Structures are given as C-alpha cells and as structure tokens.
C-alpha cells in the first residue's frame, strides 16, 4: 500500500491538472507547506499528519486522478518515517530585566488552551504588567502574581523553578487576618510612623476621618471602619481603593478636584497635559488657571513645557508668560505642569515630589512612558477625562 507522504508527492508533482485547479486555495497552501516540509528533511509532526489526512479526505472527490489511491491509502494510513517530535515547553521561572530587576517569566510551546487560560488570568489580575515576547509572557515579580500564576496554571503541570515554589509556599502559609491586623492604624506604634504622619500633615492639622482614610494608601495602614464616607467628591477621593482613579470631567470640574485636594492636604500638585492637541492644551491651561485662581492659588506655579512656535503654540506660550507660570521647581512650588511622555530631567534630580497628580485627558494607563513611571511615586493620581484609560485598573468616580 502506498504511504500517505508518497501519495502527496505524486499529487503535488502532477501538473495536468495541478492541485491549484482542484482544491480550495487554503487547502492547497497547506498541502504545499507540508510537501515543502517533507522535502526539507525535517519531516512532519503527528498533528501535521492528521491535518494532511483530513484535507485529502475532504478533497478526494476533487482530485479525480488520485481519488481511488487516496481512498486506499487513507483506509489505513502509513508513513515512510516516524513523526518529528516537537519539544513541549512549559516553564515558569525568575529572570532579570535590562535594569537587573527580577521578573516572572512564563514560557510555553504554543497551546491554545494554555494561551486562553493565561489570557483570562491576566484580564482578572490587577497587578500584572505584561510583556509578551514570542512564546514568553513576562510579569512583575510580586506576591500576587506568584500565587495567581501558579494557581491559575496548575492544571497544565508547568515546570516551576524552586525559588518560585518556595515563595509560593511561604505566601500560602500566611494568615490574612493576622497580617492585616499588624497594619491596623490602631496597632501601629512605631515612632517612625508617627514622625512621618506629623511631617506630612503638621502637628496642628485637624485630622478627620477623610484624611485618615486618604492617607491609608500612602502609609499602607488599614482601618477597621468602613471606607464609605459619603457621596461628595472629597469623600470619594479619600475612600479610593487604588492609587489611580478616574473622575468624569462631565460631572466634576478641575476647580472642584483641586478644592478637594486642598481639603485633604494634597498639595503640591502635578498636572499632566495630553500631548495630542495644541488647542486642547490651551483650553486645559485656561481651565487650570481659572481653577487655581478660584482656589486662591496664584503663585508657586510652574509650567515646564512649551508648544512649537506656530499660531496655536504662540497663544499657549503667551498665556504662560501672562500668568507668570514660570516658578522654579523647589520646595516652595505648589503646582507643576508637564506634558505627557516628556518629563524634564530635572524632576528626577530634584527633591520636589507631588502629593497628588491630575492627568488632563491624558492616557496615564500607559505604564511605560516617562511621565507615567514618575507618577508611581504618588498614591493619588486622578485621571480627569470622559472615559477611564483602558489599560489601567482603577477606581472610577462618576
């Protein structure tokens, strides 16, 4: 009996009619591809053999010169050689990025089910900063990611390196209740914590429940009381569950946001302008200027970017000069403004740090831009836009 691969050689090499005239284009491309693999000396995999059998079965009636030979050969398929074995890779391990920081790498040979499962894991996770490089998925080295990945992929028997296993065992041994109780505000008595709070707020500050809730994000303590403080903007910001929140620009104004930040002792402020439109920059600069004046902030303001010297750019630059928004970046600065993705280098060497950030229509969900990376130093990032940024999990205030 003729082997299936020998039969394929006969079909492909037959010219009148050629296979392109007999079978659909897609099937023809697959037959040619398998034929080329056989010719290359690599031979074919078992999955490729099954695909070849199926295509020949489906098209037996169309390849009329070989219809009977196809039926006989496929009745009990035989092959000239053993199928090529494909290395099945399923590994989870630690490696380092270009800066030497540890990260978790998940590497596997193509598998539709694993890819689908991993996609669901990544969508549900709140902490994964994913980089996909061919067959490798790279995520941040965090406790949450360790447990999420190992639990989520357990059914596929990944080869997990010993260090990750040790971390996983340690994390799973923790008692959530016991850990949380250590960080209750009422249980923290360390002097450095008291000094940090006093340095931040001052001795004479009236610390109400809103400020207690707001600072829990900054100082990583827990409170026993419910975080629900009311429906006002200040209360909603103070009770946020993530450091990044979306505020609907159609419901709340910049003036209201700044007023809330003042109540929460959240100055100095960094304002990030979107870089897609000069006209939008002018509009937002005027909105910001009015909001600052209405909140009695008239000095200590620095706008650290300029637009090109065209008609729109001249208006924007002139408005900065008119408002005298050219203060130096130092400890006395109340408000700084930059454009998304273009953070001036002196921000990195200066000791000035924002207590809060407002992104004006800016996609601060893009995690790898200079401005976005710098913003990670802040625990209160407000994205003021019509819709929340797609790439960032955050609280939405609407």
pLDDT tens for 210-263 read 888 888 888 877 776 666 677 899 999 999 988 999 999 999 999 999 999 999
Adjacency order of strands within the sheet including 301-303: 301-303, 335-339, 269-273, 356-360, 381-385, 244-248, 395-397
How does residue 334 score in pLDDT terms, banded at 50, 70 and 90? very high
What pLDDT is stored for residue 337 in this prediction?
A: 97
**Residue 358 or residue 198, greater confidence:** 358
Query: Which of 127-131, 171-175, 269-273 is predicted least confidently?
Result: 127-131
pLDDT at 150: 94
The token pair that represents 370 in the structure block: 């200079």
- Please give the mean pLDDT across all residues of the chain: 86
Grouping H, G, I as helix, E, B as strand and the rest as coil, residue 141 is coil
pLDDT of residue 392: 47
Question: 241-280: buried (b, 16+ CB within 10 Å) or exposed (e) per residue?
Answer: eebbbbbebeebbbbbbbbbbbbbbbbbbbbbbbbeebee
Find out whether 238 and 398 touch, Cβ atoms under 8 Å.
no
Q: What does DSSP assign to residue 342? A: B
Q: What is the pLDDT of residue 181?
A: 72
Asked if 249 and 196 count as a contact pair (C-beta separation under 8 A), the reply is no
0.85 cut: is pTM over it? Answer: no
pLDDT digits (tens, 9 = 90+) for 72-112: 999 999 998 888 887 788 999 999 888 788 999 999 987 88
pLDDT band at 286 (very low <50, low <70, confident <90, very high): very high
Percentage, residues of the chain above pLDDT 90: 45
Mean pLDDT (whole number) for 331-360: 94
Tokens of 160: 């997990």
Nearest to 254, CA basis, from 355, 327, 332, 361:
361
- Does the pLDDT of residue 395 top 60, yes or no? no
Better pLDDT: 262 or 201: 262
> How much is the average pLDDT of 191-198?
65
Which is more confidently placed, 177 or 291? 291
The pLDDT of residue 269 is above 70 = yes
Q: How confident is the model at residue 357 (pLDDT cuts 50, 70, 90)?
A: very high
CA angle (286, 292, 298) in 5-degree steps: 105
- Least confident segment among 98-102, 257-261, 275-279, 389-393: 389-393
Per-residue model confidence (pLDDT) at position 22 = 87
- The burial of 9, by beta-carbon neighbours within 10 Å (0-12 exposed, 13-18 middle, 19 or more buried), is given as middle
> Rounded mean pLDDT of 305-328?
94
Q: Which of 57-61, 211-215, 363-367, 384-388 has the lowest mean pLDDT?
A: 363-367
- The reported pLDDT for the residue numbered 217 is 82
């Amino acid at each position: 009996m003729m082997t299936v691969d020998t039969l394929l050689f006969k079909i492909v090499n037959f010219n009148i009619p050629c296979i392109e005239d007999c079978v659909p284009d897609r099937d023809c491309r697959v037959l040619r591809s398998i034929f080329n693999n056989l010719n290359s000396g690599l031979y074919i995999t078992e999955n490729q053999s099954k695909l070849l059998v199926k295509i020949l079965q489906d098209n037996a009636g169309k390849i009329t010169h070989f219809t009977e030979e196809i039926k006989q050969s496929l009745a009990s398929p035989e092959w000239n050689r053993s199928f090529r074995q494909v290395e099945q890779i399923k590994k989870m391990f630690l490696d380092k990025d270009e800066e030497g920081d540890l990260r978790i790498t998940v590497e596997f040979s193509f598998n539709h089910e694993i890819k689908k499962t991993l996609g669901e894991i990544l969508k549900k996770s709140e902490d994964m900063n994913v980089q996909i490089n061919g067959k490798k998925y790279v995520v941040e080295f965090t406790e949450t990611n360790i447990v999420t990945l190992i639990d989520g992929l357990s059914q596929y028997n990944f080869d997990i390196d010993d260090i990750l296993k040790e971390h996983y065992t340690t994390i799973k041994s923790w008692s959530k209740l016991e850990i949380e109780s250590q960080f209750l505000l009422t249980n923290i008595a360390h002097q450095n914590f008291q000094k940090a709070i006093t340095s931040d707020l001052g001795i004479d500050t009236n610390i109400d429940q809103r400020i207690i809730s707001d600072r829990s994000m900054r100082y990583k303590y827990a409170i026993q009381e419910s975080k629900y403080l009311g429906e006002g903007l200040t209360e909603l910001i103070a009770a946020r569950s993530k450091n990044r929140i979306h505020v609907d620009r159609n419901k709340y104004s910049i003036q209201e946001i700044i007023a809330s930040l003042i109540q929460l002792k959240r100055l100095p402020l960094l304002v990030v302008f979107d870089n897609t439109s000069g006209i939008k920059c002018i509009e937002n600069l005027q909105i910001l200027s009015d909001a600052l004046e209405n909140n009695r902030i008239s000095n200590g303001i620095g706008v650290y970017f300029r637009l090109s010297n065209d008609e729109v750019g001249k208006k924007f630059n002139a408005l900065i000069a008119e408002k005298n928004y050219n203060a130096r970046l130092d400890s006395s600065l109340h408000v700084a403004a930059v454009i998304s993705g273009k953070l001036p280098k002196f921000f990195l060497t200066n000791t000035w740090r924002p207590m809060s950030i407002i992104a004006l229509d800016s996609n601060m969900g893009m995690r790898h831009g200079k401005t976005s990376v710098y913003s990670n130093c802040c625990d209160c990032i407000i994205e003021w836009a019509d819709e929340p940024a797609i790439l960032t999990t955050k609280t939405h205030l609407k």
